[in-house]
Structure 1
Amino acid sequence: MLHAPGTLTVFLNARILTLDPRRPTAAAMAVQDGLILAVGTQEEMLALAGPEAALVDLQGQVVLPGFHDSHMHLLSWGLTMDGVQLTGVRSMRELIAEGQAYIRDNPGRQWIIGRGFSDEVFTPRRLPTREDLDQISTVHPIIFTRVCGHICSVNSRALELAGINGETADPAGGRIDRDPATGQPTGVLRENAMDLVTRLLPSPTVEDYKRAICRAGTEAAALGLTTVQTNDLHGASGLQDRLQAYLDLDQAGQLPLRIILQASTPTLEDLRAYAEIYRSCQPGAQLKLGPVKLYADGSLGGRTAALSLPYADAPETDGVLIYQQAELDALVCTAAEYDLQVAVHAIGDAALDQVLNSCERARERHPNWSWRPRVIHAQITRYDQLERMARLGVVADIQPIFVPTDLHFVERRVGATLAQYAYAWKTMQRLGIRTAGGSDCPVEPCNPLAGLHAALTRQDGTGYPPGGWQPQERLTIEEALQLFSSGPAYAAHEEHLKGTLSPGKLADFVVLPADPAALDPWELLDLKVSAAYVGGLQMSP
């Protein structure tokens, strides 16, 4: 639905939930030049509308601020759509069969790339090895990435091409799994060890990236997302083509939603390169550059999240810290020097200790830093750390959609002591920690309505456990809606533009057939988005 620039559009006959406490509900909204001009009664908005105004009858539907995902991987999601789809496999046999079928259906593929399996649902629970993947092919190199994105399994051909053998040393911040009897690599690579193989993959072109962005972005918009913060820029070497793809799409008006890019900068060289681009790159119509993204540890599923205690189900390890404290300090302090926001992946409590130390030191050395550092995930936390986060003003980027999967293994994995304040969303809010909701897609689906359901119930898809896992950490519907609206806006320094339907803010909103607050939480899983608007223009369906 397109209107000429300057046209005043009035959206009528709606139940508008503004999430603005100054005027929480309205029946109509006036939009002009991509901004909200006013909200109020139907009579008030019609009085604003001259004879040239466009009128849109929403037929009694519910309007909310557009959903906002604070952390995902949009481009990676789009690229995985062309690979082996492993999300639904329930056994090693199914995984092997999917790989074999993919080769039959895609005879021209050189590398066989898949993502999405979880060994937690396999019997027995174990990661695929080179021997398993060799049953798919010994001719094609194969790389299958676990759902978490922090572990991959490769076949013998991929190990050969990468030069990985029994003599290969573990890279810093990574681990090569080895057969204890022979010392030879099993084919399982963790964290930075994955780079030994992934750096051999053919590089997509700018056009490949653009197709992937549009494909994933269109699906995200159909779910009611009007902004996503996406970690799609990787290091100095992999930054230019990906950024160019986004710039081209924005300049052509082809982005189906707003994009805030996060940039992984694992080295000081990468960080400084991004800082120069950040300084020179002007925000576009629907695109802006966002924070530096750092990784402090790995994942719970792969037992690479860094814990202060040994893993309860693997006491020989306490996870992987990607950096020494001094190395992380240098990265965060350099970001502060350039006045760049930092968003640091930290799942385990040992990693969170490191991150909070680095942020505190950076603020001491650079008191004029714009601040608002972010911890992405913050899954295994201690109460003293949550108090410290609140005191420092650190934002927590949380993913409620993780809980339906993770609740089945968290306590078994980390033990009762560390599980006590795991995924502690209500405690965070009670302490005053600002929280922003996301999905980490493609780790989990980016459906915000499923995220709301998880935040409200803390149950899996069968309703287990009754009452929810650690039910004291469940959120109210008001708190959950803010997770996917005003929370991410604050995290991105955009609370003046997004998060509520208030005069002067961007006209980004979602239309639903029913009020989420009036539904049983389980009905949210069946609720379908009627339309998503960005700048007052309908982007989906």
Structure 2
Amino acid sequence: MATTVYLAERIWTLDAEHPRARSLAVRDGRVLAVGSPDDVRAAAPGAREVDLGDATVVPGLVDAHAHIHGLGRSLTTVRLEKAPSVDEVVRRLAQAPASSFQGDWLLGRGWDQNEWPGGAFPGREALDARFPSTPVFLTRVDHHAAWVNGEALRRAGITRDTQDPEGGRILRDARGEPTGVLVDNAMDVVAAAMPPPTKDQLETRLRAALERCARVGLTGIHDAGMDLEAFRVLQQWDAQGTLPLRVYAMAAGQGDERHAYLEQGPWQGRMLTMRAVKFLADGALGSRGAALHEDYSDEPGQRGLLLMSPEELEARTRAFMARGFQVCIHAIGDRANTLVVDVLLRASEMTGTQALRHRVEHAQILRREDITRLGAAKLVASVQPTHATSDMPWAETRLGHERLRGAYAWRSLKDAGANLALGSDFPIENPDVLAGLYAARTRQDATGRPEGGWRSEEALTGHEALEGFTLGPAWASFEEARRGRLAPGQDADFVALSVDPVEGAARGLVDARVLATVVAGVEVFRESP
């Protein structure tokens, strides 16, 4: 029951009645008082004091769309981000640490052919030359394509006669032989041949991810499609009181594990919640798996992939809605977004679950009429600001100019009435929430390009960006009465930053530091002096 008073240069409370303060008191995991130092000291006599100097304190920052196990795997296997060539990928793989192996399979992630000369998908030849008998499985930066070698194909039984699975593509050369690149559901054919991680591996990955999240200023994560084994580990940690951050978990709705989640139903712990399910309607833009109404501008005849039939998507949606789950559906392409808005509106009306705050995950490329429909229905638009700044060098090549009018359209979605919840989709993007705040305000990369921002009419203000990582996720997870603001009675989740993310220059966010991360009144990270 000890009380702590925090002092700072400024505190953004996001409480409409008292938007700014300089001090807050914390007791028993809740905010006791907020206001001037004198007023807060009077409300908490004899309390321990922590002076944060010229820091700015904001309510707890929450990533509304992320993958904890995926981040842990990326931190402990070969990292291929920004590799400029196939040769560099092979060089990094040759230096792989022991943690990069799952069984005898070598794992890596983060390659992006858009970074390479020519921008073409790779083939398996370079992997076969260096790893002739070790199966290699490398996920693309968007996690919607994998690059594997011949040994991995052999173990999975994939040959030139293997048919593309529904919702997937096995890329082939001129002779019809698999090249080693698998898109969307085709990845699962090879992944099924891979041994699962050990319990120790899984726990190591989850701990690494949660520690990283605390260091970058996250007090909570919405995990977009949690596998059952990871959920059981977090359940155990939550029961033991050792789960450091709040986790709002969406059940993985693609595979057979969905039956276990349906049987269990929504679940609530102390720091862990499971009351949502995540489905995938389509793939990703970078691997040309996003489902479009019209052909890709840079690949005539290709319109992407629906990862399950519209009938199956609606059937699963209704089943989980009827069980009391919030339904969250990944939709990147405009065709997928049309389908997802259709399904959510129709299914929620039939099941009477409009109050479950159903969500469109990514809401990335939409026709203008679907932006209007999404907003009018007050659906959650769970969007990722750094996706726009990562994709902007090549998005128009994929889509053409006209379709960009409804792409990464955060301002349009907000003005239409959608509830914005901002995230990163880590490990596809960096979990650094400050980079998300910067991208939301500027629509520029870290070097300040392009001047004025990319399609700057869709940018958010500093205040709106902060709300998107605080109030937005709180509402999207039914916790607005307890989180998202700093007011008496609210959970004591907050972050101390070296800059003011609201009124300070946006450019300052690029080099800003997280000074402290506090969850339920406990400091889970504090910058070393």
The answer to whether the superposition gives a TM-score over 0.5 is: yes
Paired residue secondary structure (2:137) = strand
Cα contact 2:225–2:253 (8 A) shared by 1 = no
Cα contact 1:66–1:225 (8 A) shared by 2 = yes
- For 1:13 and 1:120, the matched residues in 2 are separated by 44
Q: What CA deviation, in whole Å up to 9, does each residue of 1:475-525 have, x standing for no partner? A: 110111111111111111111111111221110000123312343212101
Which one-letter code corresponds to 2:468 in the other structure? L
Q: Which residue of 1 aligns with 2:324?
A: 339
Q: Matches of residues 271-420 of structure 1 in structure 2 within 5 Å? A: 271-279=258-266, 281=267, 283-368=268-353, 370-420=355-405
Q: TM-score, normalised by structure 2?
A: 0.96
Give, in angstroms, the shift of residue 175 of structure 1. Answer: 1.2
- For 1:312 and 1:87, the matched residues in 2 are separated by 26
Are 1:54 and 2:35 counterparts? no
Q: Which residue of 2 aligns with 1:117?
A: 111
- For 1:88 and 1:393, the matched residues in 2 are separated by 38
- For 1:54 and 1:485, the matched residues in 2 are separated by 27
Cα contact 1:345–1:376 (8 A) shared by 2 = yes
Q: Which residue of 2 aligns with 1:43?
A: 38
Give, in angstroms, the shift of residue 319 of structure 1. Answer: 0.3
Aligned counterpart for 1:263 among listed residues 243, 248, 251: 251
Cα contact 1:214–1:255 (8 A) shared by 2 = no
Which one-letter code corresponds to 1:20 in the other structure? D
Q: Which residue of 1 aligns with 2:24?
A: 29
Give, in angstroms, the shift of residue 88 of structure 1. Answer: 2.4
Q: TM-score, normalised by structure 1?
A: 0.94
Aligned counterpart for 1:133 among listed residues 86, 111, 127: 127
Cα distance, 1:495–1:107 mapped onto 2, change above 3 Å: closer
- For 2:515 and 2:13, the matched residues in 1 are separated by 17
Q: Which residue of 2 aligns with 1:492?
A: 477
Aligned counterpart for 2:172 among listed residues 170, 174, 178: 178
Paired residue secondary structure (1:499) = coil
Give, in angstroms, the shift of residue 14 of structure 1. Answer: 4.3
- For 2:216 and 2:99, the matched residues in 1 are separated by 30
Q: What CA deviation, in whole Å up to 9, does each residue of 1:305-337 have, x standing for no partner? A: 000110000012000011222111111111111
- For 1:416 and 1:59, the matched residues in 2 are separated by 48
Give, in angstroms, the shift of residue 190 of structure 1. Answer: 0.7
Give, in angstroms, the shift of residue 394 of structure 1. Answer: 1.0
Cα contact 1:151–1:194 (8 A) shared by 2 = yes
Pick which of 13-22 and 166-175 moved more: 13-22
Q: What CA deviation, in whole Å up to 9, does each residue of 1:268-304 have, x standing for no partner? A: x64342122234x4x2221111310000000000000
Cα contact 1:76–1:232 (8 A) shared by 2 = no
Cα contact 1:271–1:335 (8 A) shared by 2 = no
Paired residue secondary structure (1:427) = helix
Aligned counterpart for 2:418 among listed residues 408, 433, 446: 433
- For 1:423 and 1:54, the matched residues in 2 are separated by 45
Q: Which residue of 2 aligns with 1:466?
A: 451
- For 1:107 and 1:318, the matched residues in 2 are separated by 35
Q: Matches of residues 182-201 of structure 1 in structure 2 within 5 Å? A: 182-201=175-194
Cα contact 1:173–1:321 (8 A) shared by 2 = yes
Q: Which residue of 2 aligns with 1:220?
A: 213
Pick which of 367-376 and 345-354 moved more: 367-376
Cα contact 2:66–2:222 (8 A) shared by 1 = yes
- For 1:431 and 1:368, the matched residues in 2 are separated by 21
Q: What CA deviation, in whole Å up to 9, does each residue of 1:14-71 have, x standing for no partner? A: 42110111110112112221111221122221112234x3222222421100110001
Cα distance, 1:88–1:329 mapped onto 2, change above 3 Å: same
Cα contact 1:103–1:112 (8 A) shared by 2 = no
The RMSD of aligned alpha carbons is 1.8
Paired residue secondary structure (1:16) = strand
Give, in angstroms, the shift of residue 104 of structure 1. Answer: 9.9
Q: Which residue of 2 aligns with 1:3?
A: none
Identity of aligned pairs, percent? Answer: 39
Q: Which residue of 2 aligns with 1:90?
A: 84
Q: What CA deviation, in whole Å up to 9, does each residue of 1:128-181 have, x standing for no partner? A: 2111221221110011111000000110101001000011111111111112x3
Aligned counterpart for 1:233 among listed residues 212, 218, 226: 226
